[in-house]
Amino acid sequence: MSGVSSGPSGAWRLLCSLARAHDFLTRLTFWVAMIGVAYLTTVLAWEVLARYALRQPTGWAPDTAALAFGLATFLAAPTLSKEGGHADMRLVVDTLPASAAVWLRRFTMLLACAVCWLAAWFGYNELLRLFQRGVMVIAVTPMPKWWLMAAIVYSLVSMGLYFLRHFLTSFCGTPASAGRGGEFS
């Protein structure tokens, strides 16, 4: 035996483990988002019943429903990026020759990653400011604004990572599928 491993390198195994952990976190936050949607539906149905049938509207229902809506949106967004369900204007890409289309998809994946991470950086700075100052949502039921901002920052970082993963896996697959739903795990 020459001492050379025929299997994947340690760095590759580490990247694959990190990718699986990222996928697990994405599945977990998607389930939390689904719970948020169920909460949103239940609370708004209760509010309609309380307001119109019982004539005693709640003050907390619209406020917590708005927060649940924001959390559900941003906690579910990374799943769309993972599965390739994000907005994709394909008119230009579909009219290009296959090799140019692959490179344009790769460029847009890299650009999407950079934009997500830049927005996450700005969001993180705002998250720190909101947390340090104890800023609350102005509503009948005050809630910390940083709760929603944390979900936004997580979402942007995670989506950027999926765009980077799609970019990297576009070099491993067939040209027709490069940059579309690539898996890095």
6 — pLDDT class (breaks 50, 70, 90): low
Residue 9: per-residue pLDDT: 84
**Domain range summary for the chain, segments of one domain joined by +:** 10-177
Residue 174: per-residue pLDDT: 53
When pLDDT is averaged across residues 161-176 and rounded to a whole number, the result is 83
When pLDDT is averaged across residues 59-82 and rounded to a whole number, the result is 92
Q: Which of 180, 173, 172 is nearest to 81 (CA)?
A: 180
pTM, rounded to two decimals: 0.83
Are 155 and 75 in contact by the 8 Å Cβ rule? The answer is yes
Residue 38 has pLDDT above 70, yes or no: yes
pLDDT tens for each residue of 170-183: 998 654 444 444 44
Residue 157 has pLDDT above 60, yes or no: yes
Q: Please tell me the distance from the alpha carbon of residue 10 to that of residue 16, in angstroms, as a whole number.
A: 10
